[in-house]
Amino acid sequence: AGAETLKRAVEMDVASRFQESLVCYQEGIDLLLQVVKATKDEEKKHRYRQKISEYMTRAEDIKKHIEKEKQDGKYHKQIRIEENATGFGYEKLFHEYLTEIVSEVWVEDPYIRLVHQASRYSLYNFLRFCEMLIKGPCKVKTIHLLTSCDPGSGRSQQMSGLEEIRQSLKNYGVTLNIEFSSSIHDREIRFNNGWMIKIGRGLDYFKKPQGRFCIGYSDFDLRPCHETTVDVFHTKHTKKM
């Protein structure tokens, strides 16, 4: 398992996917350290330690490179989600950016409504996003939502749904601030540790489930996605609305 993880780390390193590469290096090194502890052959231990030292040196170099890009405001990672792809639940997409110091989140999405068009459930998706934040490891205290008002008969449902989410979050010590804009068109999510994620479809990149009892209805990792692009940036200062 350690060898496979480190092989993947090297492949991502060569492809300049440094953030993912660093995660794999760290996981692979931990696995190799466990192997060293369990190995009694001193010659094998020596070889493993040499490899660990090489991988640790490369991981440190990547960490410095990423930190420099972040400081220079040049960090950019792009993820392409293909049509009908699975494995892109919110936890999978956001987990590496939700560090323990994250306490404030900004969500800009014009379509956080109960039902937007026939096949979208953006308000439910926002609720799932909030549930992910509650589960941690971050300690979110404030969520800022900027969206647009439903122009039709769904407005009262949108308002009551958002109010229900606000009250529910309060039970977990989280404040939800809601603002509306008639001109908003960008979709982005920002964390106060400097990470900013822009998703072409916003939080609503999942396809409608085929039925209430289909695989993927509850577990978003198993839900097919619409094609979209995710751009990740790091900024020194996360602007507030």
Cα→Cα distances 218→3, 19, 50, 93, 192, Å? 34, 29, 45, 17, 29
For residue 209, say if its preceding peptide bond is cis, omega within 30 degrees of 0: no
- Assess whether 45 and 121 both reside in one domain: no
Q: Classify residue 20: in a domain, yes or no.
A: yes
> 118 pLDDT exceeds 60?
no
Nearest alpha-carbon partner for 111 in 60, 187, 178: 187
Q: Classify residue 110: in a domain, yes or no.
A: yes
The pLDDT > 70 percentage for the chain reads: 94
Higher pLDDT, 131 or 3: 131
> 241 pLDDT exceeds 70?
no
pLDDT at 69: 81
- Assess whether 120 and 205 both reside in one domain: yes
Higher pLDDT, 141 or 19: 141
- Assess whether 81 and 195 both reside in one domain: yes
Q: Classify residue 241: in a domain, yes or no.
A: no
- Assess whether 186 and 212 both reside in one domain: yes
pLDDT at 151: 77
Given 41, 72, 103, the domain boundary residue is 72
- Assess whether 88 and 150 both reside in one domain: yes
pLDDT class of 115 with cuts at 50, 70, 90: low
What are the pLDDT digits (tens) for 56-88? 999 999 999 888 887 777 788 889 999 999 999
pLDDT class of 134 with cuts at 50, 70, 90: very high
Q: Classify residue 239: in a domain, yes or no.
A: no
pLDDT at 114: 62
What is the span of the domain harbouring residue 142? 76-234
pLDDT at 47: 87
> 132 pLDDT exceeds 80?
yes
CATH of the domain at 45: 1.20.58.80
Torsion angle in degrees (nearest 10) through CA of 146, 236, 79, 99? -80
